[in-house]
Structure 1
Amino acid sequence: IHTVLIRMILFSAVVVMIALFLALLLLRRILHHLDLLVEKIRRFGQGLQDPEDTAHYDYSLRTDEIGQLHVSFDEMKSNVKTLRDKNYEKQLLLRDTNIKMLQQQINPHFLYNTLDTLNWMAQKYGADDISTMVRSLGNLFRAAVNSKEDLIPLKMELDVLKDYIRIQQIRFGDRLDFQLHVPDDISNIYVPTLCIQPLVENALKYALEFSDDVCHITVTISEKDTVYQITVANTGSHFEDDLIWKLEHRQVTPQGSGVG
């Protein structure tokens, strides 16, 4: 009995030592991958590459929690890098845009002074049409270059439109008939900058430049409940009845830059 007891104690001790050794091995394997994850996070925060131990190990093949943690962190890291690269590109684009804006600020002053000189010369020689056209052109340039607000009063937008129409009426004469219908009180209406003039320009381009007939362009601003509706209509434009369907199904390629 004494011998059996000693053997049982020794056997139990060996079993416990083996169990502890295996548990330690398992724990070290788990902690090793957790340490690698911590090291990956630390290196990512410092902008360094991942540890070499993770470069040749595919955690996507593991289905346990450690594999999921590594995969989730790698996906987050990839998304952060993508966002960072996009932000860097936007910063570069913004810097280039600011530089171009600074360069372009020099040119308008010379242009405005030249237009003012032409206006004075036209008035001096009694060329009222030239004076009107030059003055309207100067107003158009000022509105296009100096507009920094996203929304402006409707009256300012209509002033820009009227300057544009004055130029076109001198150019086309009796071939252009323009009508503007607005409510009596428009002081509370705000619109995006330069939103009406391009529509009128487009309506005029495809009606007058391809036809010798008189073009009637009408801009109507009407109130419906609490919504104001701006309508630009013209005569002289001709297109197929199924043009919209062809555009939607890419059977016709639209022209221009697509800004409209």
Structure 2
Amino acid sequence: MLIFTFIYLTITSLTKPLVEISEIAHRVSKRDFDVPLFNRNTNDEIGNICRAFDRMIISIREYIDTIWEKARTEAELREKEIEMQALYTDAQLRALQNQINPHFLFNTLNSGAQLAMMEGADKTCYFIEQVSDFFRYNIQQQKQTATIDEELGLVDNFVYIMKVRFGSRLEFEKVVPTVPLKVEIPAMTLQPLVENCIKHGLKNTTGKVSLEIALKGKYITISISDNGSGIPDEIKESVFKAVSADTTRLPAEILNQTAEPVIDDTEKHTGTGLINVFLRLKLYFHRDDIFDITNGPEGKGTKFIIRIPNHV
């Protein structure tokens, strides 16, 4: 009986782990990786098999986690790309508002420029050419991105048109580096901010708008400011919350409580103008610290700050 008991215990100590390994292996074969580990510390062959099996299970779990994380990241990137395209399309549509036939528009403007040239009206000819270039950029800009230099060219067109319209009431200052600025940013980023500043600066007797670009280490800092009345703190906070929530609308109560909207009169019910610019910057650079809103020079007015990595 003693010998039989000894043999039984010996065989059981060998077969029991093998049965457990067989059961776990069967569950793994059915793609059930939520199985317990053996954690066997013996130095015999069974212990070695159990430890090897534990390492295999851990490796499979880590590999699955890596695949899921990669799939989640790719899905987020695809979603952001779709959102970026939608936002850009929205910005482009607003820029093309009331434009029925771009070719007819260009032909008309070119005819007007030629007529002005024939009559010796050089200033009128130059003005019409600037207007034509401004609309051509908006209509023919099919890319989602543009270089900073290209955006500055659009700003120059727009500011010239505004100066002809408002005369001495508008003062514009631009300080930019002499080196080429080939870093790409979302298209139609700077002009809407300059337009916003002009609109609010002109609420005073004289509107003063400044655009400055500085190269600071690995970053390019773009500042656009005005001498207007500034943006209330609650509006500024709501803009940042909307961008953080990936929405282009300000809360209705915020739009209704302010008598001095921060956006164009045609957009005061949606709030898409300013938020759209910041949201596209966030989606393009995959960061939410790219932009900021502070007080303008001497604590007056509004200052928009864009700080982007300099990849050139």
TM-score range, shorter chain: 0.5 to 0.7
* Unpaired segments ≥5 residues, structure 1: 1-6, 41-53
What CA deviation, in whole Å up to 9, does each residue of 1:9-66 have, x standing for no partner?
6555555554554344223223323434xxx3xxxxxxxxxxxxx4xxx937x46565
1:48 match: none
> Is the contact between residue 113 and residue 125 of structure 2 (CA under 8 Å) also seen in structure 1?
yes
**Residue type at the aligned position of 2:200:** Y
Distance, in Å, in 2 between the alignment partners of 1:231 and 1:84 is 33
1:34-49 map, 5 Å: 34-36=28-30, 40=31
1:134-153 mapped onto 2 (5 Å cutoff): 134-144=128-138, 145-146=140-141, 150-153=146-149
CA change 1:231–1:87 in 2 (3 A) is: closer
2:206 is aligned to 214
Q: Is contact 1:218-1:233 (8 Å) kept?
A: yes
Q: Does 1:160 pair with 2:180?
A: no
Distance 1:181 1:69 in 2: 57
Is 1:82 aligned to residue 61 of structure 2?
Answer: no
CA distance 1:173–1:74, shift in 2 (3 Å): same
1:55-106 CA-partner distances (Å, limit 9, x unpaired): xxx937x465657567556544543442454455567779999x99xxx9xx
Question: For structure 1, which segment, 79-88 or 122-131, has the greater mean C-alpha deviation from structure 2 after superposition?
Answer: 122-131
Q: More helix per residue: 1 or 2? A: 1
The 5 Å alignment of 1:3-14 reads 12-14=6-8
Larger Rg over CA atoms = 1
Structure 1 residues 64 and 202, CA gap change in structure 2 (3 angstroms): farther
Q: Which amino acid aligns with 1:79?
A: E
User: Is the counterpart of residue 120 in structure 1 residue 114 in structure 2?
Assistant: yes
1:181 Cα deviation (Å)?
Answer: 5.8
CA distance in 1, matches of 2:3, 2:212: 103
Query: Distance between the aligned counterparts of 1:95 and 1:231, measured in 2?
Result: 26
Q: CA deviation at 1:123?
A: 4.2
Question: For residues 189 and 254 of structure 2, what CA distance do their matches in structure 1 show?
Answer: 26
AA matched with 1:33? R
Are 2:190 and 1:190 aligned? Answer: no
Deviations 1:97-146 (A, max 9, x none): 9x99xxx9xx7656544432343345456766654333112222344544
Query: Partner letter of residue 207 of structure 2?
Result: C
- Uncovered stretches (5+) of structure 2, i.e. residues with no partner: 40-53, 91-95, 242-252, 256-261, 263-270, 279-312
CA distance in 2, matches of 1:93, 1:229: 25
Which structure ranks higher in relative contact order (CA pairs < 8 Å, sequence separation ≥ 6)? 2
Contact kept? 1:132, 1:166, Cα under 8 Å: no
Evaluate the alpha carbon distance shift between residue 215 and residue 85 of structure 1 in structure 2; reply closer, same or farther with a 3 A threshold.
Answer: closer
TM-score (norm 1): 0.55
